[in-house]
Amino acid sequence: MQPSGVWATAVGVARVRALETERKNALFRDPLARAFAAAGGLWPSSPPPDDEAARRRRLAVSWSIVIRTKFLDDLLQQASASGVRQVVLLGAGMDSRAFRMNWPEGTRLFEVDTAAPLDFKAAVLRQERAVAQCERITVAVDLREDWPDALAAAGHDPAEPTVWIAEGLLIYLPEDAVEQLLARISEQSAAGSRMGLTLGSRGVIERFGADAAPGSAASMWVSEMPDDPVAWLARHGWEAESHSLRERAAAYGRPFSTPPQREDQPGGLISAARR
């Protein structure tokens, strides 16, 4: 089965994570990323030659994937340390956190995505004989459908705190679908729940998507972060903090190698808590 549509971008994300894993000073290590990329035909491979502007945009997007992965890894570790034992990855794609992170005993991790990426992923996991470090439960459902019922049927308990991750997801959903997703998350979140989101920065579609190649990730971007993401999430009942990619990259010792420019910032990072 070859990747297609929006979920095919998850294989591209796996390729970026595989390249990061090979660095001596890697911010994280994802031993399964290379296998996902290879199964999707992206390893070994190199991007086709392009002009300087396109190369710069591609590097910026790859850099943002690395920074957001580290940011959300940290958020998940902090949530686990606080006692949260339910994890939900929305639009899980080729995420391998169930396998590569150390989870406290009793952790249940739900991967929510459509059947095609989950089936593709399952084949690679069997090939690699991967063993999850927690109770991993896959939930095959379209996020535009009634996914809370499917999640509940799989064993999620909304009365217990949950840490929710929507990584590289919201930018592909129209604004009304983003609002519906946040409302549904909020309805399923007990006090003590956490949430990590990645959002497209203001103007990112114009800067990155206007001349994007058909079928590329940027060509499918449709939504950006609101002007005030903290206030936006407060309306949904969350206390949030907004972080820029550059801010987090500097904290991780991995600043972007060019002088600061707005056009080099593909998105923002959000951490939130339910009180």
Q: How far apart are CA 9 and CA 212, in angstroms?
A: 14
For residue 94, pLDDT beyond 70:
yes
CB neighbours of residue 215 within 10 Å: 11
- Which among 68, 74, 128 has a CA at the least distance from the CA of 101? 74
- pLDDT-derived band at 7 (thresholds 50, 70, 90) equals low
Q: How far apart are CA 73 and CA 184, in angstroms?
A: 23
Question: What is the tens place of the pLDDT at every residue in 13-54?
Answer: 999 999 999 999 999 999 999 999 999 998 877 666 567 767
Q: Where are the domains positioned within the chain?
A: 54-273
Distance of alpha carbon 192 from the chain centroid: 21
Q: How far apart are CA 207 and CA 171, in angstroms?
A: 14
Kindly state the tokens that stand for 105.
């005993």
Q: In the prediction, which pLDDT does 58 show?
A: 78
Question: How many residues in the chain?
Answer: 275
Q: In the prediction, which pLDDT does 30 show?
A: 98
Q: In the prediction, which pLDDT does 118 show?
A: 96
Q: Which helix (H) or strand (E) holds 36?
A: helix 33-39
**In a 10 Å sphere around its CB, with 0-12 CB exposed, 13-18 middle and 19+ buried, how is residue 79 labelled?**
buried
**C-alpha dist (Å) from residue 191 to 21, 125, 237:** 35, 34, 10
End-to-end CA gap in the chain: 43
Kindly state the tokens that stand for 50.
């392009």
* Candidate ranges 181-185, 208-212, 223-227, 256-260; pick with highest mean pLDDT: 181-185
Q: In the prediction, which pLDDT does 199 show?
A: 86
**C-alpha dist (Å) from residue 133 to 97, 100, 109, 136, 211:** 9, 7, 10, 8, 42
Kindly state the tokens that stand for 202.
């203001």
Question: What is the tens place of the pLDDT at every residue in 116-155?
Answer: 999 999 999 999 999 999 999 999 999 989 999 999 999 9
Kindly state the tokens that stand for 241.
């903090």
* Candidate ranges 103-107, 220-224, 252-256, 264-268; pick with highest mean pLDDT: 103-107
Neighbouring residues of 133: CB distance < 8 A, sequence distance ≥ 6: 98, 99, 100, 101, 102, 103
Which amino acid does the sequence have at 83?
Answer: G
Neighbouring residues of 166: CB distance < 8 A, sequence distance ≥ 6: 90, 91, 181, 195, 196, 197, 198
Q: How far apart are CA 4 and CA 171, in angstroms?
A: 18
CATH level 3 topology of 54-273:
Rossmann fold (3.40.50)
